[in-house]
Structure 1
Amino acid sequence: MSAANSQRLIDLVSDLLAQGEVSWVEFKHNNSNAEMIATRISAISNSACLSGQSIGYLLWGIDDVSLSIVGTTFDPNSYRVGNQVFALWLAQRLAPSIAFQFHQVDHPLGRVVVLEIPAANAAPVTANGIAYIRIGSATPRLTDYPERYQALLSELRPYAWESGIALQYITADDVLNLLDYAQYFRLTKQPLPDNRAGILERLTADHLIIADVGSKWNITNLGAILFAADLTLFPQAMARKGVRFVSYGGANRAATVKNRQDGKRGYAAGFEGLIAFINGLLPKNEHIGQALRVEHPLFPELAIRELVANALVHQDMTISGAGPQIEMFEDRIEITNPGAPLLAPDRMIDLPPRSRNEAMASLMRRMGLCEEQGSGLDKVIAQAELFQLPAPLFKASDDAFQVILYGPRTFAQMTPDERVRACYQHAVLKFLSGDRMRNASLCARLGIAKQNAAQASQVITLALQQRLIRPADSDHPRSGYVPSWA
């Protein structure tokens, strides 16, 4: 154990003794009754949740009357129940599984054992099938107190990655060196306080940091992933979530790599720089105006911004060793993020988004780095139509989600699937704006000349056969078309 971890545990014991025995902290001397410990874990886990604490504690080596350190002979590492390792025996009796941890502390006043017990999330924690709660020094069944049971159910929340700890037990100076707090105040449009205490107070209010024991601080996963000045200074699991960008000199990954960048800054701190970097590398088309040649990017810059923000916000942060990836080819851009989407790809345009990372999404919206709920992908589709690009492709797998934005192609160069996809997305946009898709509007979308309108009719027929669209009014064939789910 490192010196910093040892000191943190000593400070933790001191803070808990100062706190006293509350519903989520209990002190023992040498009592090592296995069934008692299992029952206490259930009670303390549920009580910690009710009290708004992320962790509860059971400590040995403390006199529970005087709350003085007296030392303990209890050793969880050597303790056995029958022939079974104690920690395994406990894990088999607790449900749902929680990541409890024993720590042995060489405190100057005596040996102390600390059991960290995560607060219940998603469901009450049971021991041998029974949920317990702490009331004073008693540990009754939770179901004997229906009002507390209902209160606990209302407090239960699934685990949120953003609230996890990226770095623990660091000084205030370390916080200010590791986080780009100046960017936080600029993006949130708050005046920068003129003292350190004011800065820490604001970072705490947005759950970017939380106070630890011994006047030290913890940086949360949310704080690190959004505002890290350098992600490589954090544990590897966090550093691997940086955005990776690769551009190729051809149409596939066998082509020469022209540019590669592994993002080191937090998503919010580095977002504007990342978008500017990508836009600077976008292929350009030259358009001749009345007097001047004007270069326009091959891909809409607004669409790139929205898709990158979408990949950051909606990824599954619990997948280790993976982060968002942006790959630029000569004819397309592929943006991939870890985790299967929570919505079916063909309904992402119209349904409100569901995010695994609500705190991150909320803060990024507040800072203007991504769109208000439900409008981001609409803008991407609208930009594709405005630039008369092939319809973007949304691809979902078990462990990733990918969006492909294609460069310009004529109607003749599009595949039948691309034509039908453009037809469906066009029908969705029309419906969301209170309109209906018609043959003429699809011709304009696909760049089909008026005299070739029969080509649009063929695409509509295919979309009808695939049940992606339907007539708006079956009794009036000229009434136009809407999405099949409308």
Structure 2
Amino acid sequence: MSNYYQNLILSLTQQPAEQEWLEFKRNFHSPEEIGQRISALANGACLAGKKFAYLVFGVEDGTHNIVGTGFSPKTKKAKGNEDLEHWLVSRLSPKIHFTIHELQIDGKAVVLFEIPAATDTPISFLHEPYIRIGSLTKPLKHYPDQSRKLWQNQADDWSAEICYEATLEDLDPKAIAVARQVFADKNKRLAEDIKEWDDITFLNKAKITIRGQITNTAIILLGRYESTSFLSPAQAHITWILKGVDGIEKDYEHFSPPFLLALDEVYNKIRNLNYRYMASGTLFPEEVQQYDPYIIREALSNAIGHQDYRLGGRITVVEKEDSTLIFQNSGAFIPKTIENVLLQGAPEASYRNPFLVNAMVSLNMMDTIGSGIKKMYQIQSKRFFPLPDYDLTRERVLVKFTGKVLDQEYAKQLATVDNLTLHDIIALDKVQKGQIITENEAEALRKKSLIEGRKNSYIIAADVAKHTEQQAEYMQMRGLNDEYYEAAILEFLKQFGQAQRSDFNKFLSNKLPDVLTDEQKFHKIKNLLQKMKRKKLIYFEDKVWKLV
């Protein structure tokens, strides 16, 4: 891979001059200067139709000669002795995951910043977006034509569309006040500045409005109840439903914008009863809430952020008295599978409502983009509760959480098995629930001796069964060896002299492994009888089996 980046740098030095997406620096100046340049280059790459922008240290600007640099970003510290890379990432908005490559070319140190182009929103540094004008870095606000082109990239983002008839008066004052406080708490270094901002300045800075214009996002998060008419024909509603064990509806309530306030209202509506279970190694029960508060807020926020409002459906939260909690929102799941979200180390490349999602992150309504689902899995796993169940069919996302331990001893002991990754636990959770696992998941579990059996009929392996004190259940699932079944057939014939095939079906069916289908059991018995016939233990005559 280093050869690739060496060749890339050499090709960049062949450019006739610096570009809006390319800048050469000889040495490090200040963390603030790098932050401004990352913002400007990302925005410049977007305008130039490039996937990436590049900031190269160790190359002379005018000649493009490789001269080397003493700058080492991995060891360089920013203010407060914070690592430079983390300091930069935390001050860029929306967050972008640039990569840093340190190389040697002809014995000279070169540092390459590879920066993704802005996609849905201009990239800001310390809440100020920048742009490249020639070889200079300038605030974007002074160049309205470039700014307009960057915002036009959001044409397909419904959440960024302007409600042209709406004004600041259509937003809820209480919601704006809460938004200010949350934003200030998250950006403590700006707390004094925020006090001086008027509402429009604040909403622009928080990426909720665009140049003072009210967006669909502003209505969803901060709008008065009656302002939802500006979204028509799109709809913005949340419905909470309580159902009994029998599935019959017992209570319900509807919620409308401002969703910033409705988030707490729905959260408080969920009863979230206490649940007791015996912690490992103690005689005293541990008491926890059925649903970790983070899970409720994150699942509901995901539904708000990723709902396809144009479909006209409601976000629903169904609380069942069988200790399950279900969240559902309209719209296909863009990453396609949950595994795609859990396996990738970076946020998803695209979102249905990027402007809305970024605003929710800035108001602390959502976890850092891309990490929330994984954290929900980890929370359930640490509690020994079943992992979340996702249903992504029928153009909607449904996730169910179980607020109790289904098999306490199994769950606790399983956590003590060495080398179990989150993905192993997810796959084993599927096996326990009788769900299908992929060939890759099966191969990974087989290598660790965690499962046995055939495709679509896997069972927890003997070693795990031993760890989890489920030897009896394991034997029931795996079945017994052929010698046992042969002895049983011989004993049957000694007692009754002869038997039809149907007699053996009835006699052996409940002794065969539970994972076998009726058809598989039929063929298993057939093979056993033929094997015993070849061994001259039994023979077939006049449609019955007899002892030799």
After TM superposition, the score normalised by the length of structure 2 is 0.44
Which structure is larger by alpha-carbon Rg, 1 or 2? 2
